[in-house]
Amino acid sequence: MGKYKVGYPCKCCGNYHDELPMSYGSPVPDYYEEIPFEEQERRIEMNEDVCIIDDEYFFIRGCIELPVIDGEGPFIWDVWVSLSETNFDKMMEYWEVEGREKELKPMFGWLQTSIPCYSETLNLKTMVHTRPIGLRPSIELEPTNHPLSLEQREGLGFKRIKQIAEDLCNVEEK
């Protein structure tokens, strides 16, 4: 198997970038975007790691890590997952507790981030794995034939990472 060039010519800016981005993310859960701007301050409570909408919908930010099969990795999708109120409260109870990763069992959640270079990703089933303080939870997708789930289990190569960079650039241009 040949090595791929790590850099790529960017179709957005026309420049050659020496390194491929190894992570992408969303600053808010998709549901956030449905709230009219003038209502957001009243209805949404959030920081960079958690989001509560209407005291009814509970989201946590985490990382889907994909192994890189032909180089250094992982490749990371920074995503939002919805949790039940009970699990969200439990996560908050242990938020600043040393050793929390040993105390909390994995929690079921629904993926709440659309990732444009895959078929529909909203509401994929996940398990949220708590990690040590300072690290966002690890998000494990249900093992299905969905392309994102397959890549989480089997990995992806630099050729695919380059394609993702190009696809996301084209989405931003629109």
Q: Poorest-confidence range of 29-33, 99-103, 105-109?
A: 29-33
Predicted pLDDT at 150: 97
User: Tens of pLDDT along 33-65?
Assistant: 889 999 999 999 999 999 999 999 999 999 999
* CB neighbour list of residue 158: distance below 8 Å, 6 or more residues apart: 3, 4, 5, 6, 20, 68, 70, 71
Averaged pLDDT for residues 65-89? 94
User: Tens of pLDDT along 116-148?
Assistant: 888 899 999 999 999 999 999 999 999 999 999
Structure tokens at 86: 């009970």
Predicted pLDDT at 173: 43
